[in-house]
């Protein structure tokens, strides 16, 4: 461990201190790159919420975007302070938010949007119990690996559900969204690991290159950018797949949802015949 320069937030109390050196650029921000890169998980969901409103999509998708927004805010607070309470604000919403995604993935195939927020009660109760039990255990036993594995299991579940939906609906747009976001997420996860494994080498490298290149070597920050984009795309996937299964009355007549603005937006366009 290198010497820790204490900043405004004092001695780190989190159970993890990432590879980025603490309080290098600011007295108020412990890990600058790892903090700033969370903007993607704040800006994209806010953009997504605006789009849901503008395109008059089902109101529940606002909650899906919001669950990513909460993780982004939590992760910002965690990397900015390295305080244990803020670590929980990042890690617990990651678990709850992914449970929420799983719930909505299970609703995709319905032919209409139900009026209730949670119509599949058994699954809702199961996922709630999972989230509550995880939270109780993690508070008593704050072992980061336990959080990482639990999160990993949930991510694998969403991937499995995505693949199943792709097989059923054979939608080209959904397939494109899935492939791009899965590849980016996987690449980000590789960087997350490399940042941990080669931390000493990366720190040494940073001592020997101009400061302007520093952010490029903060692989955990790159993980934020990539997982943030992939999570946002996962919500777009759920939205598109949901409308693929909805009956005519639930969609706009002679219109179909398409991705545009380089995959950052979904909008209604006139049905084209060559699709």
In whole angstroms, the minimum distance from the beta carbon of 124 to Zn ion comes to 25
Contact 48, 39 (CB under 8 A): no
CA 152 to chain centre: 12
Q: Rank residues 127 and 229 by Cβ distance to Zn ion and give the closer one.
A: 229
In whole angstroms, the minimum distance from the beta carbon of 206 to Zn ion comes to 18
Give the 3-state secondary structure of residue 11: coil
For Zn ion, the binding residues in 26-65 under the rule CB under 5 A are: none
Those residues whose C-beta lies under 8 Å from the C-beta of residue 140, and which sit 6 or more positions away, are: none
Q: Check the annotation: does 65 bind a ligand.
A: no
Q: Rank residues 76 and 134 by Cβ distance to Zn ion and give the closer one.
A: 76
User: φ, ψ for residue 269 (rounded to 5)?
Assistant: -130, 155
Q: Rank residues 33 and 173 by Cβ distance to Zn ion and give the closer one.
A: 173
Among 33, 35, 147, 173, contact with Zn ion (rule: CB under 5 A): 173
Among 29, 40, 82, 171, contact with Zn ion (rule: CB under 5 A): 171
In whole angstroms, the minimum distance from the beta carbon of 125 to Zn ion comes to 29
User: What count of residues does the chain have?
Assistant: 275
In whole angstroms, the minimum distance from the beta carbon of 171 to Zn ion comes to 3
- How distant, in Å, are the alpha carbons of 29, 202, 204, 213 from that of 208? 23, 10, 7, 10
Contact 31, 82 (CB under 8 A): yes
Q: Which of the ranges 8-16, 114-122, 206-214, 237-245 carries the binding residues for Zn ion, by CB under 5 A? A: 237-245
In whole angstroms, the minimum distance from the beta carbon of 72 to Zn ion comes to 10
Site string for Zn ion, 185-224 (x = CB under 5 A): ----------------------------------------
The candidate with the shortest Cα–Cα distance to 182, out of 165, 153, 162, 166, is 162
For Zn ion, the binding residues in 99-138 under the rule CB under 5 A are: none
Q: Which residue is nearest to Zn ion (CB)?
A: 171
Q: Which of the ranges 6-14, 20-28, 60-68, 164-172 carries the binding residues for Zn ion, by CB under 5 A? A: 164-172
Contact 69, 42 (CB under 8 A): yes
In whole angstroms, the minimum distance from the beta carbon of 98 to Zn ion comes to 15
Q: Which of the ranges 24-32, 45-53, 165-173, 245-253 carries the binding residues for Zn ion, by CB under 5 A? A: 165-173
Contacts of 240-245 with CB under 8 Å at 24 or more apart are 240/171, 240/173, 240/174, 240/177, 240/266, 241/108, 241/165, 241/169, 241/171, 241/174, 242/58, 242/104, 242/107, 242/108, 242/113, 243/57, 244/169, 244/171, 244/174, 245/108, 245/109, 245/110, 245/111, 245/169
Q: Check the annotation: does 224 bind a ligand.
A: yes
174 binds Zn ion (CB under 5 A): yes
What's the rounded Cα separation, in Å, for the pair 259 and 178?
12
Among 232, 240, 242, 266, contact with Zn ion (rule: CB under 5 A): 240
Q: Check the annotation: does 76 bind a ligand.
A: no
Tokens 């959904």, residue? 174
- Binding site members for Zn(2+): 79, 220, 224
Summarize as ranges the residues that interact with Zn ion (CB under 5 A): 171, 173-174, 240, 244
- Binding site members for Ca(2+): 17-18, 20, 22, 31
């Amino acid at each position: 461990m290198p010497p820790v320069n204490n900043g405004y937030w004092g001695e780190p109390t989190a159970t993890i201190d990432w590879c980025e050196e603490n309080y290098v650029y600011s007295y108020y921000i412990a890990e600058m790159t790892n903090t700033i890169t969370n903007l993607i998980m704040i800006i994209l969901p806010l953009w997504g919420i605006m789009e849901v409103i503008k395109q008059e999509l089902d109101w529940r998708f606002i909650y899906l975007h919001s669950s990513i927004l909460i993780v982004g805010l939590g992760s910002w607070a965690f990397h900015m302070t390295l305080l244990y309470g803020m670590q929980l604000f990042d890690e617990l919403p990651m678990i709850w938010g992914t449970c929420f995604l799983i719930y909505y993935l299970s609703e995709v195939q319905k032919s209409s949007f139900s009026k209730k927020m949670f119509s599949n009660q058994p699954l809702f109760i199961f996922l709630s119990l999972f989230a509550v039990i995880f939270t109780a255990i993690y508070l008593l036993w704050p072992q980061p690996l336990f959080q990482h594995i639990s999160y990993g299991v949930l991510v694998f579940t969403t991937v499995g559900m995505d693949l199943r939906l792709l097989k059923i609906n054979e939608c080209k747009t959904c397939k494109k969204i899935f492939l791009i976001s899965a590849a980016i997420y996987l690449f980000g996860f590789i960087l997350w690991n490399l940042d941990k494994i080669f931390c000493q080498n990366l720190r040494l490298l940073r001592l020997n290159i101009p400061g302007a290149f520093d952010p490029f070597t903060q692989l955990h920050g790159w993980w934020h950018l990539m997982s943030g984009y992939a999570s946002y795309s996962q919500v777009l996937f759920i939205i598109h797949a949901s409308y693929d299964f909805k009956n005519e009355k639930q969609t706009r007549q002679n219109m179909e949802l398409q991705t545009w603005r380089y995959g950052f937006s979904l909008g209604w366009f006139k049905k084209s015949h060559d699709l």
